[in-house]
Amino acid sequence: MQQESAPSCDRRCRSNARCCTDQLLAHLSQEGGRLTRERSLLLQVSCDLSSHFTPESIQRQLAAYGARVAMTTIYRNLPTLERAGIIRRTTFGEEQRNGAATYEHVWGRPHHDHLVCDSCGKKVEFHYDALEVLQQEVARQHGFRVAYHHLELVGWCADCAAAGERRAADPGSSHRQHACNRVRCDRPPTEEPR
């Protein structure tokens, strides 16, 4: 593989006026690596995708660009973008739902946490200052210095919760249900999920 010229950086991918390309080049310099054609393409795709992505979705996007990159090359190079702080792996729960490693582009984008619907998979990104303060305080009390965190609140979106309540209210239902029929338990159907 030959040294590739750096892709141009989109305004969305800037943090403290530093482009994600500059960040990757600095990281590669520290690691003794170089910017290959494949890494350049992966960086471009990760910047272009506005939602969470899997290696398979990256390969589909690369194909749409007319580029052929082997899946092993994608899997081998994503950790480099992760160590550079440009992308991060999402939570274990999301990876279970997707059946694959799942990432999101974080360089130059504000920190956020996630609400995830356990029924339809809907994701809502949010930031709540009080949670950040609370997490730092808990870490301080236990002598931890937080490097990063992922917070994923799993439950049911308004549409799925309403659909679950409608099914639970159906007198023809032979069993108790809650939360869009995903989980069966002995709790009354009108009780809020825990």
| 71 & 128 share domain | no
Q: How far apart are CA 187 and CA 178, in angstroms?
A: 8
Residue type for position 33:
G
Lowest mean pLDDT among 51-55, 61-65, 179-183: 179-183
Domain span including residue 148: 110-194
At residue 16, φ and ψ (nearest 5 deg) are 50, 45
Task: Note whether 146 and 135 are within 8 A (CB).
Answer: yes
CA 186, chain centre distance (Å): 33
| 2 & 43 share domain | yes
pLDDT at 8: 53
Residue of 113, 78, 108, 107 whose CA lies nearest to 94: 113
Task: Note whether 108 and 14 are within 8 A (CB).
Answer: yes
pLDDT at 148: 76
Residue of 130, 120, 127 whose CA lies nearest to 106: 127
| 155 & 185 share domain | yes
The CATH code of the domain that includes 166 is: 3.30.1490.190
What percent of the chain is predicted at pLDDT more than 90?
A: 36
Q: Which of 82, 109, 136 is the last residue of a domain?
A: 109
pLDDT at 172: 54
Instruction: Provide the domain count of the chain.
Output: 2
Q: Which of 87, 109, 131 is the last residue of a domain?
A: 109
Token representation of residue 119? 């029924």
CB atoms within 10 A of CB 131: 14
